[in-house]
Amino acid sequence: MPGTPRVLVSLIDEGQEYQRLQGSDALATGERLGFEVSIVYGKGDPATQARQIEEALKGPEAGRPTVVVVQPLAAAALEGAARAALDAGIGWVSLEPAFYLDALQRTHPGKLVAVVTADAQEMGRLQARIVRALLPRGGSVVAIEGPVLSPPVINRREGLRDGLRGSGVEIVKTLGGDWTEASGEKAATLWLRLGRAARPSLIAAQNDAMAAGARKAIAAWKPEWLDLPITGCDGLPEGGQRMVREKILSATVVQPTSTGPAIELVARGLRGETVPPATSLPAWTFPSLEELERGRRG
């Protein structure tokens, strides 16, 4: 397509701090590269996200995107949109793995079809290493997960469980949230108000906001449990990392933003360079695992 490349970036929910950072990184990278970047948020609803993308694909040709960069709420909901985009000559870059992408890469050779993601399974395994460092003799964990069909939820769950095998640590209960602090507080409150909740050794949440919400519920309903270790994921400088420094959380897994690297990959593809079908961005822990080990021994 001639003229300024247009990139549609489809994200999950503007109410989430990490998603807002994804949006701001996309805009900053696009401005640096001379791209026209539009951000839409799916309001936490897979159908809304799919509809927003389909509307953009069907819009006037002069305004259609050159490439769609998407963080899917539910991978299966976007297969049709991905296929329609590629059939129309529009590139597709997913910020999460999706089962249909390999097939699309085979059926659309020469088209831009790629995955750029922080490895969610590795993030789960890193959280397991945090748990093992905090519970060297084993123990019980209450897990708090995001929306059940979300790809990061599934992959972080698998990574956590895989990383805890043989550790003597058991996940005794799983609570459900929607990535927000309010949902973590609500899920933990319902659990605590049952009256028979046994004190676990640790709470492991799939993001920092739900972890903070769980701590609020404990403060309200079980203040004697406020010494309970709570861990999260995302690790934004003014989010999870700040909460670790302030002793709200014990540790977090830092998830790098992926929109900037994705748009840089788009630029390479549009220049005619060969781009990898899958790019994995490294995550890390805060504090480091070495610091956690030293703190436990100290």
Digit-coded pLDDT (tens) for 60-93: 988 899 999 999 988 788 999 999 999 999 999 9
Read off the pLDDT of residues 230-252 as tens digits, 9 standing for 90 and up: 999 999 999 999 999 999 999 99
Tell me the whole-structure pTM to 2 decimals: 0.82
- Say what the pLDDT of residue 1 is: 42
Measure the CA–CA gap between 180 and 186, rounded to whole angstroms: 10
Read off the pLDDT of residues 29-48 as tens digits, 9 standing for 90 and up: 999 999 999 999 999 899 99
**What's the average model confidence in pLDDT over 271-281?**
94
Classify strands 278-281 and 230-234 as parallel, antiparallel or unpaired.
unpaired
To the question of domain 6-118+256-281 being in CATH 3.40.50.2300, the answer is: yes
Higher-confidence residue of 213 and 150: namely: 213
Measure the CA–CA gap between 115 and 277, rounded to whole angstroms: 6
Read off the pLDDT of residues 155-181 as tens digits, 9 standing for 90 and up: 999 999 999 999 999 999 999 999 999
Rg (the chain; Cα; Å) = 20
Please say if the pLDDT value at position 298 is more than 60.
no
- CATH number corresponding to 120-254+287-297: 3.40.50.2300
Q: Which helix (H) or strand (E) holds 251?
A: strand 251-254
Burial of residue 132 (number of CB atoms within 10 Å: 0-12, 13-18, 19+): buried
Write down the mean pLDDT value for the chain: 94
Backbone angles phi, psi at 87, to 5 degrees: -60, -30
Higher-confidence residue of 159 and 297: namely: 159
Measure the CA–CA gap between 85 and 150, rounded to whole angstroms: 22
Ranges in the chain annotated CATH 3.40.50.2300: 6-118+256-281, 120-254+287-297
Please say if the pLDDT value at position 280 is more than 60.
yes
- Say what the pLDDT of residue 195 is: 67
Q: In what order do the strands lie in the sheet with 91-94?
A: 36-41, 6-11, 67-70, 91-94, 113-118, 278-281
- Say what the pLDDT of residue 62 is: 85
